[in-house]
């Protein structure tokens, strides 16, 4: 089916998320929609899927204008969508999820589970997905959950399949498998819209590339365009994708983790006997697919989450950390922490930037005058930090929640680096951040390293890991599969991320 | 107790604890000692059938203390089985727990009725009748909460139903109209909750509490001003006829308990399995559960979240209204001030105890019905024993059941969270 978007405009108040966007996807084509976080890709697709109503413009399928008042209409017209955050019900089985909204029914509206199962098995077999129709979705790995989403779309005879940032949660191997599936579907005639900000994947799989920046189409490109060409189209200026850094000059050991185990919220061992150490002047990257214990490890390092009693120890600057150390103790011992979810754990959205900047030192003399806040000092410090860390805001008295993702993250980084730290733990520091801010944050991390601090970078983005790390520890199911050098190949790292020891 | 077993690697299956055998063991010893060894003297007679029943079963007579010892020992054995199961890291099956519970109840009844008789049919039958309002209230709760809306207003809906059923039945002299009015008014009340929760995104607990207070106020006012003045005409509906289902009601014990009842009880016995069926076996139920778990996901497959929630809450309200009718025309025969007396709140607890499952919730409601009749009956057979103590027993059992066996229950994920589109 041929999909055409004509002059789609979508506004949210003052913000123009999509500005008269035109896009044509031919039948059987894999069409990549490339753009930074916040460029308006997802908004566009939600318009296409009927979740949002466009303010202007038309959607045409096979040259016929369509009117979608909800996702139901879009689906009925043959549009299927795999959302970035899966739209699956965790406590339902695969068959139930696939059938939902489109259930085979018998007398009294009884749900024919057997038929629903059959449908899943049939599609799963046709494309070699290998999905168990009776498995509970919450028990499945994300890669399989994604296939369930694809089956869901296919079971509704989707002729146009939209994949919104589908590789964000996948291992490199799973990504390759997904690309094979995409090619196979395209071959069978399905048109595919592949939304992403990852250049490598676009070049590998797309037939055609449309680049979006700040809500506008900035141009088309062929998949053989060079990476730097695509990147500069996406960002709007020349970008240097490589991070320049000197040879590491290693100093004393700043962090030693010995054989620690940590429980997750469901009381299962999320971290199991992990040991590593970090020296001053190096970046140790902890790589791995999301959900392999990195979150819990970071929280344990900070003292937010207890280490299982007697399981092991953490030493900072050669000093043994008490097992019941409070977060404040840890911070005072010279640790800076950039949490993985800045909206949830990094900032108070309803506070101003200045208030957020003093959060980790609210009790310290620089910000206080007796029992009061020293407003003058805070003003001066926050103004200074906003400039130094290039936070794009009219003033430090603006609400942190109103900033873009990149600028929010810069506030967090500024707060953590303002104090003198010996060790910086950065958990997913560039997730959902624009390229400009990514470059800036990467520079800051390297600067910390070169200033003789130890840096732990927890990242699921292999590109980021390879760009920054001096050593790479790969985590899989709560264990460190191996610690390797930065020259290790992507393939090798990919294997390790899937649990194959080095 | 983790030292008993080595920790088996990462992401190991949840280990079965020793809570069940410990709780069961302790309770068995309590029964063995207090009802058995230190029990009361005298014979206890268990009457399984009534004089008027077609088939007469022989009475079962035993010394009260002897019964305590026997049941206590068997309960102890069950606890040992549970311990062995726990050591093998498997859970104590629910049927075993049920047998254990029944034994405990038997021991308690036998102890209370030393030198007296235990009218089994009477106790079980009355427990069921008393449980019906709670049960139907709980079904309303299951329907509303499964679709994602907290319905604190069940208490008010029961009270509304009770009031309307009594008044409309009295005035029109027609029970059908009275019951219909009860269901209709309670459904309207649910609609108010639904509209506030869905359209105006109001805090659902607050709306529910306000509705409850409102209904208590209105019914109290009308009761005072109108029903007490003109009670003969507007608050004297009497009760529904008791219907005997041919043949089925002649089954010993079960027959008179289940098949010789008022229409309200039959309705409850029908609604519970029907709701189970709809919730778990039909398209409508699948969609309602999806809406309660992950409304955005439901929306993306074309399910109308607001409409689904609206109707599940509203129909739930009608069922709660029927529960209210069961209080007046189904049992008491007239409306009394605040006669729902917290049943609506017990129904909410029952929903959680039953883990949002209609059948389990209905069984939990029966437990509460039993506790009410137990207090009344115990006062008659053993005036010496403080009734407050007897009243406590079922609740202690409940707490133990919740802690020891039910475990952590998982509510619908989007319960009480308004769904905002876009």
Tell me the per-residue pLDDT of B370-399, one tens digit each, with 9 for 90 and over: 888 888 888 888 877 787 777 777 677 666
Pairing of strands A216-221, A319-320: unpaired
Asked if B3 reaches chain A (Cβ–Cβ under 8 Å), the answer is: no
Asked if B282 reaches chain A (Cβ–Cβ under 8 Å), the answer is: yes
Give how far Cα A240 sits from Cα of A66, A231, A235, A236, B232, Å.
42, 9, 11, 12, 91
Which chain A residues are Cβ-neighbours of B301 within 8 angstroms?
71-72, 75, 87, 100-102, 152
Asked if A449 reaches chain B (Cβ–Cβ under 8 Å), the answer is: no
Q: Provide the number of structural domains found in chain A.
A: 3
The per-residue pLDDT for range B222-239, each reduced to its tens digit, is: 999 998 888 888 888 889
Domain boundary among B114, B136, B163: B114
Q: What is the DSSP string of A104-135?
A: -B-GGGBB-HHHHHHHHHHHHHHTT----TTS
Select the residue of A71, A105, A267 nearest B300 (Cβ to Cβ). Answer: A71
Domain that holds residue B97: 15-114
Kindly determine whether residue A101 and residue B7, on different chains, have CB atoms separated by under 8 Å: no
Residues B98 and B138 placed together within one structural domain of the fold:
no
Kindly determine whether residue B301 and residue A102, on different chains, have CB atoms separated by under 8 Å: yes
Asked if A342 reaches chain B (Cβ–Cβ under 8 Å), the answer is: no
Residues B339 and B240 placed together within one structural domain of the fold:
yes
Task: Flag whether B420 is in a domain.
Answer: no
Choose the mutation target among A47, A95, A101 for the interface with B, i.e. most B CBs under 10 Å: A101
Task: Flag whether B308 is in a domain.
Answer: yes
Residues B291 and B367 placed together within one structural domain of the fold:
yes
Task: Flag whether A435 is in a domain.
Answer: yes
Kindly determine whether residue B301 and residue A152, on different chains, have CB atoms separated by under 8 Å: yes
Nearest partner of B361 among B281, B276, B274, B304, judged by Cα: B276
Task: Flag whether B413 is in a domain.
Answer: no
Task: Flag whether A13 is in a domain.
Answer: yes
pLDDT beyond 50 at B197: yes
Q: What is the pLDDT of residue B406?
A: 60
Give how far Cα B110 sits from Cα of A442, B33, B204, B378, Å.
77, 14, 45, 11
Kindly determine whether residue B282 and residue A110, on different chains, have CB atoms separated by under 8 Å: yes
pLDDT beyond 70 at B5: no
Domain boundary among B73, B92, B114: B114
Residues B87 and B125 placed together within one structural domain of the fold:
no
Task: Flag whether B10 is in a domain.
Answer: no
Residues B154 and B284 placed together within one structural domain of the fold:
yes
Residues A138 and A226 placed together within one structural domain of the fold:
yes
Residues A308 and A354 placed together within one structural domain of the fold:
no
Kindly determine whether residue A89 and residue B422, on different chains, have CB atoms separated by under 8 Å: no
The per-residue pLDDT for range B332-360, each reduced to its tens digit, is: 999 999 898 889 999 998 998 888 999 99
Choose the mutation target among B2, B277, B301, B411 for the interface with A, i.e. most A CBs under 10 Å: B301
Which chain B residues are Cβ-neighbours of A75 within 8 angstroms?
301-302
Residues B244 and B164 placed together within one structural domain of the fold:
yes
Neighbours of A152 (CB within 10 A): 29
Asked if B351 reaches chain A (Cβ–Cβ under 8 Å), the answer is: no
Ramachandran angles phi, psi of A78, nearest 5°: 100, 20
Average pLDDT over residues B5-29: 65
Residues B110 and B137 placed together within one structural domain of the fold:
no
Residue A241: pLDDT band by 50, 70, 90 thresholds?
low
Per residue, what are the HEC states of B315-348?
HHHHHHHHHHHHHHHHHHCCCCCCCCCCHHHHHH
pLDDT beyond 60 at B1: no
Kindly determine whether residue A83 and residue B281, on different chains, have CB atoms separated by under 8 Å: no
Q: What is the pLDDT of residue B75?
A: 94
The per-residue pLDDT for range B68-127, each reduced to its tens digit, is: 999 999 999 999 999 999 888 887 887 888 888 889 889 989 998 888 899 999 999 999
Average pLDDT over residues B255-281: 95
- Tokens, residue A50: 């009927």
A116 pairs with which residues across the strands? none
Residues A413 and A425 placed together within one structural domain of the fold:
no
Asked if A478 reaches chain B (Cβ–Cβ under 8 Å), the answer is: yes
DSSP helix/strand/coil, A204: helix
Task: Flag whether A102 is in a domain.
Answer: yes
* Nearest chain A CA: its distance from B302 CA (Å): 4
Asked if A99 reaches chain B (Cβ–Cβ under 8 Å), the answer is: yes
Kindly determine whether residue A88 and residue B422, on different chains, have CB atoms separated by under 8 Å: no
Q: Are A221 and A211 in contact (CB under 8 A)?
A: yes
Closest residue, chain A, to B280 (C-alpha): A111
- The mean pLDDT value of chain B amounts to 88
Among A56-65, A429-438, B138-147, which stretch is predicted with the lowest mean pLDDT? A429-438
Q: Provide the number of structural domains found in chain B.
A: 2
Size of interface A-B (CB pairs under 8 A): 96
Task: Flag whether B412 is in a domain.
Answer: no
- Tokens, residue A288: 């791995």
Between CA A126 and CA A142 the distance in angstroms is 21
Residues B233 and B305 placed together within one structural domain of the fold:
yes
Residues A414 and A282 placed together within one structural domain of the fold:
no
Kindly determine whether residue B281 and residue A111, on different chains, have CB atoms separated by under 8 Å: yes
Residue B16: pLDDT band by 50, 70, 90 thresholds?
low
Kindly determine whether residue B293 and residue A92, on different chains, have CB atoms separated by under 8 Å: yes
Asked if A115 reaches chain B (Cβ–Cβ under 8 Å), the answer is: no
* Nearest chain B CA: its distance from A443 CA (Å): 36
Asked if A136 reaches chain B (Cβ–Cβ under 8 Å), the answer is: no
Kindly determine whether residue B422 and residue A51, on different chains, have CB atoms separated by under 8 Å: yes
Which chain B residues are Cβ-neighbours of A72 within 8 angstroms?
301-303
Domain that holds residue A404: 345-419
The per-residue pLDDT for range A28-59, each reduced to its tens digit, is: 999 999 988 778 888 898 899 988 899 999 99
Kindly determine whether residue B301 and residue A88, on different chains, have CB atoms separated by under 8 Å: no
Asked if B131 reaches chain A (Cβ–Cβ under 8 Å), the answer is: no
Task: Flag whether B239 is in a domain.
Answer: yes
Residues B60 and B200 placed together within one structural domain of the fold:
no
Task: Flag whether A460 is in a domain.
Answer: yes
Residues A213 and A143 placed together within one structural domain of the fold:
yes
DSSP state of A250: -
Kindly determine whether residue A71 and residue B302, on different chains, have CB atoms separated by under 8 Å: yes
Kindly determine whether residue A89 and residue B281, on different chains, have CB atoms separated by under 8 Å: no
Closest residue, chain B, to A311 (C-alpha): B7
pLDDT beyond 80 at A276: yes
Q: What is the pLDDT of residue B7?
A: 35
pLDDT beyond 70 at B401: no
Residues A8 and A107 placed together within one structural domain of the fold:
yes
Between CA B334 and CA B328 the distance in angstroms is 5
Report the Cα–Cα distance between both ends of chain B, in Å, rounded. 49
The per-residue pLDDT for range A442-501, each reduced to its tens digit, is: 999 999 999 999 999 999 888 899 999 999 999 998 999 999 999 999 889 988 988 887
Residue A360: pLDDT band by 50, 70, 90 thresholds?
confident
pLDDT beyond 60 at B11: no
Select the residue of B12, B294, B422 nearest A52 (Cβ to Cβ). Answer: B422
Q: What is the pLDDT of residue B8?
A: 34
Residue B67: pLDDT band by 50, 70, 90 thresholds?
very high
Select the residue of B10, B14, B283 nearest A103 (Cβ to Cβ). Answer: B283
Kindly determine whether residue A268 and residue B303, on different chains, have CB atoms separated by under 8 Å: no
Average pLDDT over residues A270-287: 94
Task: Flag whether B91 is in a domain.
Answer: yes
Domain boundary among A183, A218, A235: A235
Choose the mutation target among B16, B280, B302 for the interface with A, i.e. most A CBs under 10 Å: B302
Surface-to-core class of residue A434, CB atoms within 10 Å of its CB (0-12 exposed, 13-18 middle, 19+ buried)? buried
Residue B402: pLDDT band by 50, 70, 90 thresholds?
low
- The mean pLDDT value of chain A amounts to 89
Residues B38 and B176 placed together within one structural domain of the fold:
no
Residues A181 and A273 placed together within one structural domain of the fold:
no
Ramachandran angles phi, psi of A115, nearest 5°: -65, -40
Between CA A304 and CA A300 the distance in angstroms is 6
* Nearest chain B CA: its distance from A111 CA (Å): 4
Asked if A152 reaches chain B (Cβ–Cβ under 8 Å), the answer is: yes
Residue A252: pLDDT band by 50, 70, 90 thresholds?
very high
pLDDT beyond 60 at A123: yes
Between CA A7 and CA A395 the distance in angstroms is 36
Residues A24 and A154 placed together within one structural domain of the fold:
yes
Residues A434 and A320 placed together within one structural domain of the fold:
yes
Task: Give the CATH number for residue B345.
Answer: 1.10.3470
Q: What is the pLDDT of residue B400?
A: 67
Residues A99 and A193 placed together within one structural domain of the fold:
yes
Kindly determine whether residue A111 and residue B283, on different chains, have CB atoms separated by under 8 Å: yes
Q: What angle do CA A468, A469, A470 make, to 5 degrees?
A: 130
Going along A339-393, which residue ranges are E strands? Answer: 368-369, 372-373
Select the residue of A86, A105, A268 nearest B11 (Cβ to Cβ). Answer: A268
Between CA A167 and CA A206 the distance in angstroms is 14
DSSP helix/strand/coil, A492: helix
Give how far Cα B274 sits from Cα of A108, A380, B267, Å.
11, 68, 10
Task: Flag whether A340 is in a domain.
Answer: no
Choose the mutation target among A100, A145, A156 for the interface with B, i.e. most B CBs under 10 Å: A100
Please tell me which residue, A230 or B186, carries the higher pLDDT value: B186
Kindly determine whether residue A477 and residue B413, on different chains, have CB atoms separated by under 8 Å: no
B-facing residues of A in 266-295 (CB < 8 A) are 267-269, 272
Q: Are A333 and A340 in contact (CB under 8 A)?
A: no
Residues B44 and B176 placed together within one structural domain of the fold:
no
Q: What is the pLDDT of residue B30?
A: 92
Domain boundary among B92, B114, B136: B114
Pairing of strands A368-369, A372-373: antiparallel
The per-residue pLDDT for range A326-340, each reduced to its tens digit, is: 899 899 899 999 998
Q: Are A56 and A20 in contact (CB under 8 A)?
A: yes
Task: Flag whether A339 is in a domain.
Answer: no
Asked if A96 reaches chain B (Cβ–Cβ under 8 Å), the answer is: yes
Burial profile B330-368: b = 16 or more Cβ within 10 angstroms, e = fewer: bbeebbbeebbeebbbbbbbbbbbbbbbbebbbbbbbbb
Residues B225 and B364 placed together within one structural domain of the fold:
yes
Separate counts of helices (H) and strands (E) for chain B: 16, 5
Residues A359 and A319 placed together within one structural domain of the fold:
no
pLDDT beyond 80 at B13: no
Task: Flag whether B392 is in a domain.
Answer: no
Place of tokens 């407003």: A375
Residue B10: pLDDT band by 50, 70, 90 thresholds?
very low
Task: Give the CATH number for residue A318.
Answer: 3.40.50.300
Kindly determine whether residue B11 and residue A478, on different chains, have CB atoms separated by under 8 Å: yes
Please tell me which residue, A502 or A125, carries the higher pLDDT value: A125
Closest residue, chain A, to B277 (C-alpha): A110
List all residues 6 or more positions away from A180 whose beta carbon is below 8 Å from its beta carbon: none
Residues A228 and A94 placed together within one structural domain of the fold:
yes
């Amino acid at each position: 089916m041929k999909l055409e978007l004509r002059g789609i405009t979508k506004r949210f108040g003052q913000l123009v998320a999509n500005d008269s966007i035109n896009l044509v996807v031919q039948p059987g084509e894999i069409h990549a929609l490339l753009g930074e976080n916040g460029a308006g890709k997802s908004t566009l697709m939600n318009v296409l899927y009927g979740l949002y109503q466009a303010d202007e413009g038309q959607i045409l399928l096979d040259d016929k204008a369509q009117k979608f008042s909800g996702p139901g209409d879009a689906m009925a017209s043959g549009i299927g969508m795999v959302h970035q955050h899966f739209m699956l019900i965790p406590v339902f089985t695969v068959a139930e999820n696939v059938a939902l909204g489109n259930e085979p029914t018998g007398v009294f509206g009884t749900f024919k589970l057997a038929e629903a199962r059959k449908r899943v098995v049939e599609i799963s077999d046709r494309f070699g997905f290998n999905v168990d129709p009776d498995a509970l979705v919450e028990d499945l790995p994300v890669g399989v959950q994604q296939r369930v989403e694809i089956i869901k779309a296919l079971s509704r005879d989707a002729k146009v399949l939209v994949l919104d940032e589908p590789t964000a949660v996948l291992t490199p191997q799973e990504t390759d498998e997904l690309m094979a599936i995409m090619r196979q579907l395209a071959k069978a005639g399905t048109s595919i819209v592949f939304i992403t900000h990852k250049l490598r994947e676009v070049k590998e799989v797309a037939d055609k590339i449309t680049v979006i920046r700040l809500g506008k189409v900035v141009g088309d490109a062929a998949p053989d365009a060079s990476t730097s060409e695509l990147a500069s189209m996406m960002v709007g200026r020349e970008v240097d994708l490589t991070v320049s850094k000197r040879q590491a000059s290693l100093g004393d050991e700043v962090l030693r983790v010995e054989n620690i185990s940590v429980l997750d919220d469901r009381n299962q061992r999320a971290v199991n006997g992990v040991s590593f150490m970090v020296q001053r002047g190096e970046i140790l990257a902890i790589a791995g697919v999301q959900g392999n214990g990195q979150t819990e490890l970071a929280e344990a390092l900070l003292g937010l989450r207890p280490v299982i009693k007697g399981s092991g120890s953490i030493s900072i600057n050669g000093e043994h950390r008490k097992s019941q150390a409070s977060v404040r103790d840890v911070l005072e011992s010279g640790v800076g922490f950039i949490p993985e979810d800045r909206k949830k754990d990094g900032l108070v959205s309803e506070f101003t930037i200045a208030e957020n900047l003093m959060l980790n030192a609210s009790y310290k003399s620089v910000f206080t005058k007796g029992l009061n806040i020293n407003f003058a000092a805070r003003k001066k410090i926050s103004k200074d930090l906003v400039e130094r860390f290039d936070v794009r805001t009219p003033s430090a008295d603006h609400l942190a929640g109103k900033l873009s993702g990149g600028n929010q993250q810069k506030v967090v980084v500024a707060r953590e680096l303002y104090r003198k730290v010996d060790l910086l733990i950065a958990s997913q520091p560039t997730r959902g951040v624009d390229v400009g801010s990514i470059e800036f944050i990467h520079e800051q991390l390297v600067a910390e390293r070169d200033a003789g601090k130890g840096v732990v970078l927890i990242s699921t983005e292999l590109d980021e890991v390879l760009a920054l790390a001096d050593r790479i520890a790969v985590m899989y199911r709560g264990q460190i599969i191996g610690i390797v050098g930065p020259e290790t190949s992507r393939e090798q790292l990919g294997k390790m991320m899937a649990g194959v020891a080095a | 107790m983790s030292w008993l077993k080595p920790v088996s690697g990462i992401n190991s299956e949840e280990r079965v604890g020793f809570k069940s055998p410990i709780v069961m063991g302790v309770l068995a010893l309590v029964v063995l000692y207090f009802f058995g060894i230190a029990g009361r003297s005298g014979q206890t007679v268990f009457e399984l059938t009534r004089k008027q029943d077609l088939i007469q079963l022989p009475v079962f007579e035993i010394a009260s203390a002897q019964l305590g010892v026997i049941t206590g020992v068997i309960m102890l054995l069950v606890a040992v089985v549970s311990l062995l199961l726990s050591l093998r890291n498997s859970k104590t099956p629910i049927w075993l727990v049920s047998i254990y519970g029944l034994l405990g109840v038997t021991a308690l009844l036998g102890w209370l009725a030393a030198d007296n008789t235990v009218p089994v049919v009477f106790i079980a039958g009355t427990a069921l009748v008393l449980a019906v309002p709670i049960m139907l209230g709980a079904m309303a709760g299951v329907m509303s909460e499964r679709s994602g809306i907290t319905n604190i207003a069940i208490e008010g809906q029961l009270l509304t139903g009770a009031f309307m059923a009594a008044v409309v039945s009295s005035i029109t002299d027609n029970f059908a109209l009275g019951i219909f009015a009860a269901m209709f008014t309670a459904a309207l009340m649910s609609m108010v909750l639904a509209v506030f929760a869905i359209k105006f995104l109001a805090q659902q607990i607050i709306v529910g509490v306000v509705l409850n207070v409102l209904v208590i106020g209105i019914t109290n006012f009308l009761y005072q001003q109108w029903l007490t003045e003109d009670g003969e005409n507007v608050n004297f509906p009497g009760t529904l006829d008791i219907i005997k289902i041919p043949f089925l009601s002649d089954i010993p014990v079960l027959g008179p308990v289940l098949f010789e009842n008022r229409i309200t009880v039959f309705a409850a016995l029908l609604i519970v399995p029907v709701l189970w069926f709809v919730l778990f076996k039909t398209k409508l139920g699948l969609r309602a559960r999806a809406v309660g778990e992950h409304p955005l996901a439901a929306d993306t497959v074309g399910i109308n979240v607001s409409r689904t929630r609206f109707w599940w809450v509203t129909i739930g309200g009608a069922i709660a209204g029927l529960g209210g009718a069961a209080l007046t025309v189904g049992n008491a025969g007239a409306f009394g001030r605040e006669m729902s007396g917290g049943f609506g709140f017990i129904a909410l607890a029952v929903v959680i105890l039953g883990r949002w499952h209609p059948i389990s919730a209905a069984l939990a409601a029966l437990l509460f019905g039993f506790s009410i009749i137990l207090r009344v009956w115990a006062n008659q057979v053993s005036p010496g024993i403080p009734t407050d103590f007897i009243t406590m027993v079922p609740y202690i059992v409940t707490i133990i059941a919740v802690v020891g066996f039910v475990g952590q229950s998982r509510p619908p994920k989007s319960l009480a969270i308004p769904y905002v589109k876009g």
